[in-house]
Amino acid sequence: MKSAIVLLVLALAAVVLARPDTYTDRYDNIDLDEILNNRRLLVPYVKCVLDQGKCSPEGKELKSHIREALENNCGKCTNAQRNGTRKVIEHLINHEEDYWNELRAKYDPQSKYVTKYETELRKSELRNPPVRHDQFNWEGAPVGSTLRRTGLLARMISTLTATVS
């Protein structure tokens, strides 16, 4: 019996020591910009981590580490994960405030951890106005800003007024 207990303790120690120091890097090469700029891709991830929708394998992995990553300041994150986390949080704070507030309420209800991110990553509305979702077509392309930037909107209006007159 004693040898079984010793064997069990040694097996448990081996499992603890074999635990990786960082989270898996399997998803480190995901194109976050593509996800953040397309609500059809972004919303399912947010719904997953809020327990409001189905989870992809990437979403399950993310959800399983959120609380721990917040509590230990992303101590087990790879560099890519740290940078990605900052990018996603910045986007949510500045462009998806309702989702950000839901995530805060779920994962940090006392605001012990997220306040530092908010202070640092919240941008001035004058420099970075919030995205209006009526500017997006069904694929998530920012039609309004594209038209303004390229001057297409002005040309379209002048063409329309010329045809009406």
Global model pTM greater than 0.85: no
> Is the same domain home to 139 and 126?
no
Rounded Cα–Cα distance for residues 1 and 7 (Å): 10
CATH number at residue 98: 1.10.2080.10
> Is the same domain home to 158 and 118?
no
The full 3-state SS of 127-140, as one line of letters, equals CCCCCCHHHECCCC
Give the residue carrying structure tokens 């917040």: 70
Rounded Cα–Cα distance for residues 19 and 92 (Å): 31
Q: What is the mean pLDDT of the chain?
A: 75
> Is the same domain home to 84 and 15?
yes
- pLDDT band at residue 151 under the 50/70/90 scheme: low
> Is the same domain home to 24 and 67?
yes
> Is the same domain home to 146 and 71?
no
Segments forming the whole domain that contains residue 35? 2-131
> Is the same domain home to 100 and 150?
no
> Is the same domain home to 42 and 120?
yes
pLDDT at 8: 43
Name the most confidently modeled range: 9-23, 52-66, 106-120.
Answer: 52-66
In the predicted model, what is the mean pLDDT of residues 27-44?
92
Lowest-confidence region among 21-25, 39-43, 155-159: 155-159
% of the chain residues with pLDDT over 90: 36
> Is the same domain home to 65 and 144?
no
pLDDT at 156: 59
What tokens were used for 50? 């809020």
> Is the same domain home to 68 and 100?
yes
Task: Report the domain count for the chain.
Answer: 2
> Is the same domain home to 116 and 162?
no
> Is the same domain home to 138 and 86?
no
pLDDT at 24: 87
